[in-house]
Amino acid sequence: MQVSDSKMQVVWEPIADLAKSVNSGSVSALELVEKSLGLIEKHKEFNSIIATTETRAKQRAMQIDSDIADGKTVGRLAGVPFVAKDNFLTFGSETTAASNILKGFEAPYQSTAIEKLEAEGAICVAKANLDAFAHGASTENSDFFTTKNPHDMSKVPGGSSGGSTASVALKLAPFALGTDTGGSIRLPASFCGVVGYKPSYGLVSRSGVVAMASSTDVIGPIASSVEDASLVLDVIAGQDPLDSTTIERCNSYTKLSAVNKPKVGIVKEYMEQGVNPKVKELIIKAADDLKSDGAEITEISIPSLPLSLAAYYIIVPAEISSNLGRYDGQRFGKSINSGDVNDLEENYSRVRQEGFGDEAKRRIMTGTYVLSSGYYDAYYKKAQLVRTKIINDLNEAFNKVDFLMGPVSPQVAWNIGEIADPLSMYLVDIMTVAASIAGLPAISIPCGTVSDMPVGLQLIAPYKQDLKLLSLADLYERRSNG
Amino acid sequence: MNDYKTVSGYIPTIGIECHVQLKTKSKLFSGESNDAKSAKPNEAVGHVSFGMPGALPVLNKKAVELAAKAAFALNTKPQNYSKFDRKHYFYPDLPKGYQISQFEEPIILGGYVDILVDGEKKKIGITRAHMEEDAGKSTHPAGKDYSLVDLNRAGTPLIEIVTEPDMHSAAEAKACAKSLYLQMKYADVSDVDLYNGNMRFDVNVSVSKDPSKLGTRSETKNLNSFKSVERAVEFEIARQIELLEKGGGVVQETRGWDDAKQKTFSQRTKEDAHDYRYMPEPDVPPIVLTDEYIDEIQQQIPIMPDEVRSKLNSISLDSSQVESIVSEPSVAYFIIELINHDQETAKIIANWVTGEIAKLVIDSKVNWDEVVKAKNSLITLADMIKSNQLSSTNAKLLLIDVITNNVDPNKLAKERGLLQDSDESSVEQIVLSVIDDNPNAVNDVKNGETKAIGFLVGQVMAKSQGKANPALAKKLLESRLNNS
């Protein structure tokens, strides 16, 4: 299978094949990197990229090519270019998290995920745009610029990993890395029509990734196929001595085997009011497709699920307010000349005033409020209780079915600037946050279009059932492509 | 307890919070070196302690082990389950904007330490003790428009011990601080170097006329000696009583200690108090200790100061000798080993280590390690006294060489000509000449003044340059004088 773009006539073979070609010497890593960099330049107008890592990428490519010429085998991702969301610490360019406060920050170390990819020969060519600090669902909260949807430049790509998903949709590189805290991989994958995978919490190390909300942040691949996403996951998954919340991995995430008569539950609460009827139709069609592949489809109700959003928007801002504390202008990123301020207090205020965007400030204030003495019990503690209930209810649901399904988003991509009210923007996450606060693996796979805009099917599996989830997604993808 | 010693009719009440730096090679949440003694500022810092974006804390196993040991030193057991929380405040020496601490479920709950004040033993309850990371160090150079931050200390593992408000005098507070110090030293969880801030004390002091009600308290922070604990408490008791007597009130506040002026001073009042916005630490999984693990830790707990004292008391040392031996665990274990072997030898050596050897240590002529290592030679030296080969006076002359050069005391005494003379005929010669030279004393003895015998023995010793066996000299003197 080859993924091609009719407009561009550009083809990225499946990642495994690309790496094979590089390892065999039939194509050079440098050619792939140059191709990718050329496409990035060509599609600049979409604003999916903050910066390229051109010099380092080319050096790495030449090194890989010379290793191969010397007869060495480089790895499973030899020479494969990729794009990383700009909240991954990487060498070769600044790491900004699309925020003014981190502008100018050159990472002194690389995130574990990047290190693992590089160890297999992959080459990071660019850093992708995002909502600053991953706070958002459209990339409109980027402190730099808004990324445009590859399918319609007037629409948002979704967020917060919108730069990464747009890059993959534009085929700037065969895959990208994103982060998903409440839907930030799945939503933009759905809006851009690519595969976005959110692993079980802890399956991929968070070390070296700018933290948003530590208890729900996960790192995952964005690719053109489930097969590619599986291969990338297989490389980055596993315990890391630098992240004590990482969990044991399974043997292989690439051995996608047929799932035998899976029981799939359509989540009733995800198909109710507010969902675009055409989106609903596509989900039902996807269910039918799965059925003809042997799946048993039922409807399942989890009444507490809609509470996820309220719990999420208390717990996550609380963690954000804590995690953003280190951006104080004293050690890295933006700083204020001490001669320009009277005291430390003013220094802190100016750095944060000028360095954080509105959404970061909003979340810091919400989080600070819910953690304040006197409010902690009413908000944070209550939200944690709700979280526990949702986890329990989901576990119970998984006693009845093997997978849950529904849309990723009730709507397709909206116009840039259309959602101005921050609370309305929060509501966009309604169908993605439950898997996040429960730590469950979930995936967005393209399942059709509404008014020419892509729609994503969301499949959710029990905790640590990543391989099964990818297998089911692969099954679905083969049918829908076939 | 109703037997408070009141001060001008007020009952002082004191509680202590004590920070103890744990002696680990690396920091509490990273592999960065925890030994910054010879490091330049900001040299012993890595991504985690620097608060670098994306850097995550990973709990140090050794620190947990030491905290678990500390639980036994506080006469309790570590909790099977404990967890970390974030304590938020902004200061440049706190790089992450929060300190990782334990708030809701600390590793140690309960326990006590014993104190001895004016011969009375008392238990001071421990409320809790939790693990946390230390902050960096800020300095504010005088006359400059900048401050300096050294993050070497950031991330150093600490336990913070919180006592019950069980103390009612400055002396009790000092004794408690000292007791905590000794317990930590014996459990070997910290280097307990007070000068370098390995242990720091905060004292909460209040006074009240009503024994059933506590007064408003002040907290004096960062005391780094037992003396300053005592003086700060004394000062606070006096200051608060004076305020109340003048009709004023005590303000709940944090105070500092000015060692030069021997005064406390106000740092911040309750109104400025931080809301720390405690939150469970999502990056560090809870600490789960199995019963088997806890039992293993318990096996490692050595003989603690209380038991050491009762062992030392069995050779009837005075209390200042006991305390001086207790203060040095390696010496205490050495003496206890001797006691188990032979009490008389133990007593001789105990007298040395609290006398002449202590002086040698103070004068930096020997150190305690060398003393303990010279065990066999010291035993030989003590045996020589016991068998009248050497006078105890002359034995002391040999101590420094025996300890530092580890030479055979027999050989050394011989070389120096200090061996005791127990040859009857040679001692008798001296006895006779002393009798001739001291007719007055001889008369006194004959008239029944037995004290004079001691004087004559002394003369014999002097004349023999300390070599004559004094018991033999006395025996010969007595037989001579009684028979003539």
Q: How far is B136 from chain A (nearest CA, A)?
A: 13
Tokens coding A13: 């073979």
**A206: chain B residues, CB-CB within 8 Å:** 54, 56
CB A250 within 8 A of CB A239: no
pLDDT tens sequence across A39-56 = 999 999 999 999 999 999
Domain edges within chain A: 9-257
**A376: chain B residues, CB-CB within 8 Å:** 277-278
What are the DSSP E strand ranges found in A49-122? 49-52, 81-85
Q: For chain B, say whether A46 makes contact (Cβ under 8 Å).
A: no
pLDDT in the model for residue B51: 97
Interface probe, candidates A201, A316, A330, A381, chain B, greatest B C-beta count within 10 A: A330
- Residue given tokens 């944060």 in the structure block: A352
Same domain for B180 and B215, yes or no, is yes
pLDDT in the model for residue B484: 52
Instruction: Give the mean model confidence (pLDDT) for residues B269-285.
Output: 87
Contacts of A150 (CB under 8 A, 6+ apart): A46, A157, A166, A169, A170, A192
pLDDT in the model for residue A8: 42
Q: For chain A, say whether B457 makes contact (Cβ under 8 Å).
A: no
Contact assignment for A326 to B146 by CB distance below 8 Å: no
Q: Is A160 a catalytic residue?
A: yes
Same domain for B241 and B112, yes or no, is yes
Q: Which CATH class is domain A9-257?
A: alpha beta
Query: What is A357-426 written as a DSSP string?
Result: -HHHHHHHHHHHHHHSTTTTIIIIIHHHHHHHHHHHHHHHHHHH-SEEEEES-SS-PPBTTS---HHHHH
Contact assignment for B53 to A97 by CB distance below 8 Å: yes
Q: For chain B, say whether A388 makes contact (Cβ under 8 Å).
A: no
pLDDT in the model for residue A337: 85
Confidence of residue A241 (pLDDT cuts 50, 70, 90): very high
pTM equals 0.91
Percent of chain B with pLDDT over 90: 72
pLDDT tens sequence across B23-56 = 999 999 999 999 888 899 999 999 999 999 999 9
pLDDT tens sequence across A191-230 = 999 999 999 999 999 999 999 999 999 999 999 999 999 9
Confidence of residue B180 (pLDDT cuts 50, 70, 90): very high
Q: Is A85 a catalytic residue?
A: yes
In a domain, B78, yes or no: yes
Helix (H, G, I), strand (E, B) or coil at A275: coil
Q: For chain B, say whether A111 makes contact (Cβ under 8 Å).
A: yes
What secondary structure letter does DSSP report for A428? G
In a domain, B452, yes or no: yes
pLDDT tens sequence across B195-220 = 989 999 999 999 999 989 999 999 99
Contacts of A468 (CB under 8 A, 6+ apart): A259, A402, A403, A461
Same domain for B196 and B320, yes or no, is no
Last residue of a domain, one of B271, B292, B313: B292
Q: Is A257 a catalytic residue?
A: no
Same domain for B225 and B254, yes or no, is yes
Contact assignment for B59 to A244 by CB distance below 8 Å: yes
pLDDT in the model for residue A258: 78
Weakest mean pLDDT among A196-210, A339-353, B164-178, B454-468: B454-468
Confidence of residue A154 (pLDDT cuts 50, 70, 90): very high
Same domain for B57 and B142, yes or no, is yes
Confidence of residue B4 (pLDDT cuts 50, 70, 90): low
pLDDT in the model for residue B3: 56
**A318: chain B residues, CB-CB within 8 Å:** 279
More confident residue, B134 or A6: B134
Strand B85-88 and strand B98-101: the pairing is antiparallel
Domain around B477: 424-483
Res. B246: pLDDT tops 70 = yes
**A239: chain B residues, CB-CB within 8 Å:** none
Confidence of residue A149 (pLDDT cuts 50, 70, 90): very high
Res. B2: pLDDT tops 70 = no
Last residue of a domain, one of B292, B314, B344: B292
Contact assignment for A328 to B53 by CB distance below 8 Å: no
pLDDT in the model for residue A294: 93
pLDDT in the model for residue B63: 98
pLDDT tens sequence across A277-310 = 999 999 999 999 999 999 999 999 999 999 999 9
What's the whole-number average pLDDT of chain A? 95
pLDDT tens sequence across A76-118 = 999 999 999 999 999 999 999 999 999 999 999 999 999 999 9
Contact assignment for A97 to B56 by CB distance below 8 Å: no
Same domain for B455 and B405, yes or no, is no
pLDDT in the model for residue B483: 56
Instruction: Give the mean model confidence (pLDDT) for residues B140-148.
Output: 90
CB atoms within 10 A of CB A172: 32
pLDDT in the model for residue B271: 65
Q: How far is B29 from chain A (nearest CA, A)?
A: 10
Q: How far is B205 from chain A (nearest CA, A)?
A: 25
Instruction: Give the mean model confidence (pLDDT) for residues A176-202.
Output: 98
pLDDT in the model for residue A5: 45
CA–CA gap between residue A356 and residue B64 (Å, rounded):
37
In a domain, B76, yes or no: yes
CB atoms within 10 A of CB B323: 17
pLDDT in the model for residue B232: 98
Same domain for B284 and B309, yes or no, is no
In a domain, B1, yes or no: no
pLDDT in the model for residue A1: 35
Same domain for B120 and B190, yes or no, is yes
Res. A401: pLDDT tops 80 = yes
Res. A253: pLDDT tops 60 = yes
In a domain, B32, yes or no: yes
pLDDT tens sequence across B305-321 = 999 999 999 998 998 99
Same domain for B20 and B94, yes or no, is yes
In a domain, B107, yes or no: yes
Instruction: Give the mean model confidence (pLDDT) for residues B167-171.
Output: 97
| Nearest-CB residue to B53 (from A210, A328, A380) | A210
| Number of domains making up chain B | 3
Same domain for B139 and B287, yes or no, is yes
CATH number, domain of B458, equals 1.10.10.410
pLDDT in the model for residue A482: 54
Helix (H, G, I), strand (E, B) or coil at B39: coil
Instruction: Give the mean model confidence (pLDDT) for residues B228-257.
Output: 95
In a domain, B477, yes or no: yes
Same domain for B176 and B257, yes or no, is yes
Q: How far is B351 from chain A (nearest CA, A)?
A: 53
Same domain for B231 and B324, yes or no, is no
| Nearest-CB residue to B90 (from A215, A325, A376) | A325
**A326: chain B residues, CB-CB within 8 Å:** 51, 53, 95-97
In a domain, B160, yes or no: yes
Confidence of residue A7 (pLDDT cuts 50, 70, 90): very low
pLDDT in the model for residue B193: 94
Chain A segment 224-243 residues within 8 A of B by beta carbon are 241-243
Contact assignment for A326 to B96 by CB distance below 8 Å: yes
Instruction: Give the mean model confidence (pLDDT) for residues A4-10.
Output: 44
Q: Which of A164, A184, A225, A471 is catalytic?
A: A184
Res. B272: pLDDT tops 80 = no
pLDDT in the model for residue B1: 44
